[in-house]
Amino acid sequence: MAAKQPPPLMKKHSQTDLVSRLKTRKILGVGGEDDDGEVHRSKISQVLGNEIKFAVREPLGLRVWQLVSAVMFSGVAIMALAFPDQLFDAVFDEEPVSSRTPIRLYGGALLS
């Protein structure tokens, strides 16, 4: 009695089998809607999120405030670097400071 040989193995090509691709995408959680109603095309977009959320424009007042505060910080920093005695006199009502190094270090830190 001869041993019966098994039939040759056939590989399943899931790329051509549409039902198999759909099942695979459902298992991975790709292609369907999530709780927010977004449809993710890949697992990467699901993990990283949708970049459309981050394309929201900030209010004009926020941009103006950022500009004004940057100009003010830069102005005080340049004044601390260039005219440390005048800045010290403007802030404090004490006698003049003997060393200008701390004020200039403050200006450098503020400018950076």
Tell me the per-residue pLDDT of 64-88, one tens digit each, with 9 for 90 and over. 999 999 999 999 999 999 988 888 8
Determine the pLDDT at residue 30: 63
pTM of the predicted model as reported, rounded to 2 decimal places: 0.48
Total structural domains in the chain?
1
- Give a yes or no: residue 106 inside a domain: yes
Domain of residue 103, residue span = 60-111
pLDDT at 15 over 60: no
- Give a yes or no: residue 35 inside a domain: no
97 vs 1, higher pLDDT: 97
Separation of alpha carbons 78 and 111, rounded Å: 7
93 vs 78, higher pLDDT: 78
pLDDT confidence band for 61 (50 / 70 / 90) = very high
